[in-house]
Amino acid sequence: MKRDAVFYSSLIMVFSAGFVDTSTFTVADGLFSAHITGNFVVFAYKLSNHPQLRDFINLISFPVFILAVILTRKMNSLYKNEKGIFASIGIFLIVAGCIAFLLKQNHIETGFVYHSMLMLIVFSMGIQNTVTRLYANSAFGPMTVMTGNVTKAILDFFSYISTQHTLEKLVELKKSLVLLTGFLVGCIFGALISARFGLVSMLIPGVLISVFFTVSSRKTSLSLP
């Protein structure tokens, strides 16, 4: 990807990750869809506070996430279509948002279809986690869990102000700030919008991702000789 494309890709994807993860946590009984290991912490907490059957359901997210990683790796090895894989994340989120809309219209907040919709969201985040590692140059860094980015930003900051006043360190610091800011904004919007509209809100990151990578893919095709 070109430099500008990487910037916009990073911003859209990190915003979407924060949006989606916070939305499911807010609406779906504490489910982390991107920060998948967080579900172990939530489960352990609920286990100590009169656990119910539904508390065990969120653990299904882990094998679903693993399946997404395996299938994404397999599809990438077969087709080598970076932008197509990125766009598929948006498509899955759009489908999940449409299902959520139908469920909301019928006041359904549990059951097989509802939990399948949640796992579809988890699956999409599994794809995102995988593709950003398969194509590391397509983003400024990891875009679903920010702990590593916070650590890197702090180290880059102190390296820059203490000894290494280099343009390279400054650029790396700015990249980390883009990821952290985008994720925070996504979290805020995800919480506010999903609290009002439920998981129909998945349409927002879904459309953003799908449109961006579809348009960028077409531009690339048109630019080829």
Tell me the domain boundaries of the chain: 3-140+183-216
Quickly state the pLDDT bin for 224 (edges 50, 70, 90): very low
Lowest-pLDDT choice from 99-108, 137-146, 162-171, 179-188: 162-171
Quickly state the pLDDT bin for 196 (edges 50, 70, 90): very high
Percent of the chain's residues with pLDDT above 90: 44
Q: What is the average pLDDT score of the chain?
A: 86
| Best CA proximity match to 61, nearest among 80, 33, 29 | 33
pLDDT of residue 37: 85
Q: How far is CA 63 from CA 27, 36, 118, 123, in A?
A: 21, 10, 13, 10
CB count within 10 Å of CB 39 equals 21
pLDDT at position 22 over 50: yes
pLDDT at position 2 over 70: no
Highest mean pLDDT: which range of 29-33, 42-46, 116-120: 116-120
pLDDT of residue 218: 61
Q: Could you tell me which CATH class the domain 3-140+183-216 is placed in? A: mainly alpha
pLDDT at position 1 over 60: no
63 against 165, higher pLDDT: 63
Q: Residue-wise over 88-117: b if at least 16 C-beta within 10 A, else e?
A: bbbbbbbbbbebbbebeeeeeeeeeebbeb
Dist. CA 176–CA 140, nearest whole Å: 7
- What pTM, to 2 d.p., does this model score? 0.87
Dist. CA 223–CA 212, nearest whole Å: 17
pLDDT of residue 219: 58
pLDDT of residue 203: 97
pLDDT at position 21 over 70: yes
